[in-house]
């Protein structure tokens, strides 16, 4: 329960501060925003290290730290994603985002393993200090690229409410991008069974132990790394929007096959699902980076982040209730149907939009 609460506290600031973080990344130099945020995160981790070394660290202080880390992420994500197009050419956005996604997933997989080993060898306090030092390295790396590219936004939207209102009106004119953003909300609902039902799937359909859950998460991460690698080999001339909708088809098939699959088949399906998730996520990020105006890019990423954060908890709640009171299959069946409807509507809408342009 404590672990779940701490994870929730990292998400709550996203709902409260994402839009503010998006405006901040559009009003100030994005590299400087990243430096300020990393300094704050370094101070948070170091403070936890000091408290742990004195044996006075309490659970509520971890909750506060989780909330503060979530707040920092609300400012860091739009700024970091907004910087990428200034560093590289549009034709190589997918490759750059694939590398970033792969590194993030690898860190998610390897980080907890290294932390566990470090706690065993050095204690909890040293792990917090190491984490703080990692932000120092991040700050130094940002200083290396300051001055190499222009990251200060030359124009910025007006006040928060009016600014986001204008951004939404302009996004509606870019109907293909707007359709992708709406579909992302549906996606957050549809993929909920993958996360809500995995623990039950691991215990009932795999090996019945905690090892089953670990194996499934590892295969999902491995699939993500595979998908990110494949995307670097795909030609930049391919229509990104069409590909975004099409790559979701394997999720529908995988969802409907999972409850009937053997242990090894489930692992293979999770690899495919992870690869599909990587393709969709990286394509979405690349389209936002290339289609949105520089002075609005941070705000658009904030909206994208918010859409998922509002719908994901609803999907997780519904999927969890279905898994507890019915079966794993019912959750995956519902998610697959919702995904299929979203894919068909998205493809049809995109086709009609292209026809009107012709």
For the whole model, what pTM was predicted? Answer: 0.75
Mean pLDDT of 38-64: 90
Phi, psi (5° rounding) for residue 239?
A: -65, 115
Higher pLDDT, 54 or 188: 54
Q: Which of 104-108, 118-122, 225-229, 286-290 has the lowest mean pLDDT?
A: 104-108
Give the pLDDT band (50/70/90) at residue 152.
low
How far, in Å, CA of 105 to CA of 221, rounded? Answer: 6
The count of other CB atoms within 10 Å of the CB of residue 258 is 24
83 close to 285: Cβ distance less than 8 angstroms: no
Return the pLDDT at 44: 94
How far is Cα of residue 286 from the mean position of the Cα atoms in its chain? Answer: 13
93 close to 240: Cβ distance less than 8 angstroms: no
Most confident of 61-70, 246-255, 331-340: 61-70
What mean pLDDT, rounded, does the chain reach? 77
221 close to 105: Cβ distance less than 8 angstroms: yes
Return the pLDDT at 214: 64
How far, in Å, CA of 74 to CA of 81, rounded? Answer: 12
- Burial of residue 14 (CB within 10 Å: 0-12, 13-18, 19+) is buried
Question: Which tens digits make up the pLDDT trace of 232-282?
Answer: 777 566 777 888 888 888 878 887 787 677 767 777 888 888 888 888 888
Walk me through the domains of the chain, giving residue ranges and CATH numbers: 2-357 (1.20.1250.20)
Question: Which tens digits make up the pLDDT trace of 75-134?
Answer: 988 888 888 887 777 667 777 788 887 788 777 777 767 777 777 888 888 889 998 999
Return the pLDDT at 322: 66
Mean pLDDT of 45-71: 88
Q: Which residue blocks in the chain are alpha helix, DSSP H?
A: 2-27, 30-53, 59-87, 93-122, 124-145, 160-173, 175-190, 192-196, 198-201, 210-231, 240-246, 249-257, 263-291, 297-325, 328-357
Phi, psi (5° rounding) for residue 54?
A: -95, 5
Most confident of 85-94, 182-191, 221-230, 299-308: 221-230
- Burial of residue 100 (CB within 10 Å: 0-12, 13-18, 19+) is middle
SS3 149: strand
The closest of 245, 255, 269 to 315, measured between CA atoms, is 255
Higher pLDDT, 54 or 117: 54
Q: Is the pLDDT of residue 50 over 70?
A: yes
Return the pLDDT at 1: 45
Q: What is the dihedral of CA 340, 344, 347, 352, to 10 degrees?
A: -160
């Amino acid at each position: 329960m404590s672990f779940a609460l701490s994870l929730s506290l990292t998400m709550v600031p996203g709902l409260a501060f994402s839009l503010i973080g998006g405006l901040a990344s559009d009003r100030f130099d994005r590299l400087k925003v990243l430096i300020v945020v990393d300094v704050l995160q370094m101070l948070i981790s170091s403070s936890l290290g000091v408290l742990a070394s004195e044996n006075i660290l309490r659970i509520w202080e971890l909750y506060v730290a989780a909330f503060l880390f979530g707040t920092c992420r609300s400012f860091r994500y739009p700024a970091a994603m907004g910087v990428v197009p200034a560093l590289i050419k549009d034709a190589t956005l997918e490759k750059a985002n694939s590398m970033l996604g792969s590194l993030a997933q690898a860190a998610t997989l390897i980080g907890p393993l290294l932390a566990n080993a470090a706690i065993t060898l050095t204690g909890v306090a040293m792990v917090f200090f190491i984490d703080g030092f990692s932000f120092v390295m991040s700050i130094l790396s940002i200083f290396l690229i300051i001055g190499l590219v222009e990251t200060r936004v030359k124009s910025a939207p007006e006040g928060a409410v009016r600014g986001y209102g204008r951004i939404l009106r302009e996004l509606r004119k870019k109907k293909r991008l707007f359709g992708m953003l709406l579909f992302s909300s549906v996606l957050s609902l549809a993929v909920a069974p993958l996360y809500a039902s995995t623990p039950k799937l691991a215990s009932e359909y795999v090996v019945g132990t905690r090892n089953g859950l670990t194996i499934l998460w590892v295969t999902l991460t491995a699939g993500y790394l595979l998908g990110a690698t494949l995307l670097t080999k795909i030609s930049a001339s391919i229509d990104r929007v069409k590909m975004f909708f099409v790559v979701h088809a394997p999720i529908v098939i995988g969802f409907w096959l999972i409850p009937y699959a053997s242990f090894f088949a489930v692992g293979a399906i999770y690899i495919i699902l992870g690869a599909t998730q990587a393709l969709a996520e990286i394509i979405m990020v690349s389209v936002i980076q290339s289609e949105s105006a520089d002075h609005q890019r941070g705000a658009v990423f904030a909206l994208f982040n918010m859409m998922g954060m509002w719908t994901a908890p609803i999907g997780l709640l519904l999927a969890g209730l279905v898994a507890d009171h019915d079966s794993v299959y019912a959750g995956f069946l519902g998610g697959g149907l919702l995904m299929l409807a979203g894919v068909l509507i998205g493809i049809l809408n995109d086709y009609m939009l292209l026809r009107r342009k012709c």
